[in-house]
């Protein structure tokens, strides 16, 4: 049987969670950038003995707390999600093991066996968000798919979502009847796209 992606996708309200990024180099900056691009209201703390200038500027702009010290497990207190990005494998593995003991979700950058989750490609158009995962196999493919979806999802998709939400409030009946009505109403969206591409 072919290998398949068994990851379960979720959309986290990171403004309600505490995120810790261990490290202050290029990878830490990349993870912080993508996290804040998707969720500018994320509550993030970073710990590292050094930080890049761009990382400091970004952190200051978004209110990210920066601790200028080496990693210690005490920094895991009250954190829900941890991302380890240092260039010292032993430190990253220690972060992973400490998180496992305390039941924290952890991602060790570029090291899939030490990840509870992956940070995939993300496309956001208003209220519509599409997340892309390659099961940790190919971030480049996720990036290309993200670019593709950014082009094909129309800019006005958010208007449709808001209008359908208002329409949904007016529909009478139980849950199943509402779903059936909305399914019928939105069926044309896919059919129109297929006709346009023929």
pLDDT digits (tens, 9 = 90+) for 131-179: 998 887 888 898 899 999 889 888 888 887 887 777 777 777 787 877 7
Q: Mean per-residue pLDDT for 27-42? A: 95
Q: Which residue has the tokens 């829900």?
A: 80
Do 148 and 127 touch, CB atoms closer than 8 A?
no
Q: Interior CA angle at 109 toward 30 and 1, to 5°? A: 120
**SS3 track for the chain:** CCCCCCCCCCCCCHHHCEEEEECCCHHHHHHHHHHHHHCCCCEEEEECCCCCHHHHHHHHHHCCEEECCCCCHHHHCCCCEEEECCCCHHHHHHHHHHHHHCCCEEEECCCHHHECCCCCEEEEECCEEEEECCCCCCHHHHHHHHHHHHHHCCCCHHHHHHHHHHHHHHCCCCHHHHHHHHHHHHHHHHHHHHHHHC
Of 24, 101, 103, which Cα lies nearest the Cα of 70? Answer: 24
Domain 14-118 class in CATH = alpha beta
Q: What percent of the chain has pLDDT over 90?
A: 58
Give 3-28 pLDDT, tens digit per residue. 888 999 999 999 999 999 999 999 99
pLDDT over 70 at 196, yes or no = no
Q: Mean per-residue pLDDT for 94-105? A: 98
Do 14 and 79 touch, CB atoms closer than 8 A?
no
Do 112 and 136 touch, CB atoms closer than 8 A?
yes
> How far from the centroid of its chain's Cα atoms is residue 78's Cα?
20
């Amino acid at each position: 049987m072919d290998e398949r992606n068994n990851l379960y996708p979720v959309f986290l309200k990171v403004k309600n969670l505490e995120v810790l990024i261990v490290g202050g180099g290029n990878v830490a900056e990349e993870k912080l950038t993508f996290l804040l691009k998707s969720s500018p209201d994320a509550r993030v703390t970073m710990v590292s003995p050094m930080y890049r200038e761009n990382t400091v500027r970004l952190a200051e702009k978004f209110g990210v707390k920066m601790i200028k010290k080496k990693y210690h497990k005490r920094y895991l207190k009250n954190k829900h999600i941890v991302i380890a990005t240092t260039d010292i494998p032993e430190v990253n593995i220690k972060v992973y093991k400490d998180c496992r003991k305390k039941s924290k979700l952890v991602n060790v950058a570029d090291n899939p066996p030490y990840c509870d989750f992956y940070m995939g490609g993300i496309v956001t158009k208003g209220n519509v968000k599409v997340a892309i995962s390659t099961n940790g196999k190919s971030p480049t493919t996720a990036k290309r798919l993200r670019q593709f979806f950014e082009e094909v999802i129309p800019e006005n998709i958010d208007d449709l979502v808001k209008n359908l939400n208002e329409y949904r409030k007016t529909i009478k009946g139980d849950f199943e009847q509402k779903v059936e009505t909305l399914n019928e109403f939105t069926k044309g969206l896919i059919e129109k796209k297929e006709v346009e591409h023929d």
